[in-house]
Amino acid sequence: MGIVDNHIQFTVVENGSDQIIETYVGEYRNLMVLLKNELYLDSFGECGGVGRCATCIVKASEITGNSAIKDRNEPTTLSKMGYEENNIRLSCQLLITKDLEGSNIEIIDY
C-alpha cells in the first residue's frame, strides 16, 4: 500500500497581497477556520460556519470535484446578499480537501 499524499497548497489573496497556504486534508474543519487561524481575520465568519451570515465570502477559482458544488445554506445565503456568480463562495462551506489543491482564493471585503 502506497503513502497517501494529503498535502494541499493554494493561494490566498487578501488586500491585494498573495500568500501561499500549505495545509493537509482535514487539518481544519473548513476553509473559514483555516483563514481565520492563518491570517488572523477579525469579524470573519461571525456565525461560526453555519452558512448564514455571509461574513466569510471569498472568490474561489480552480476548485475541483464536489467542492465546486454549492449546497446546504450557501446558495440561499449568497442569493440574499446579491451574489449570483459561481465563483463567489462562503468559505465555511468549503471543506479542506484535495479539491482546493492549486486553487486561488480571494477574500472579499468582510
Quick check: 2 pLDDT over 80?
A: no
pLDDT of residue 87: 96
Residue 79 is inside which H or E element, if any? helix 74-80
pLDDT of residue 5: 86
Q: What is the mean pLDDT of residues 4-24?
A: 94
Domains of the chain with bracketed CATH? 7-17+28-107 (3.10.20.30)
pLDDT of residue 50: 87
How far is Cα 49 from Cα 57, in angstroms, rounded to an integer?
Answer: 11
How far is Cα 16 from Cα 38, in angstroms, rounded to an integer?
Answer: 17
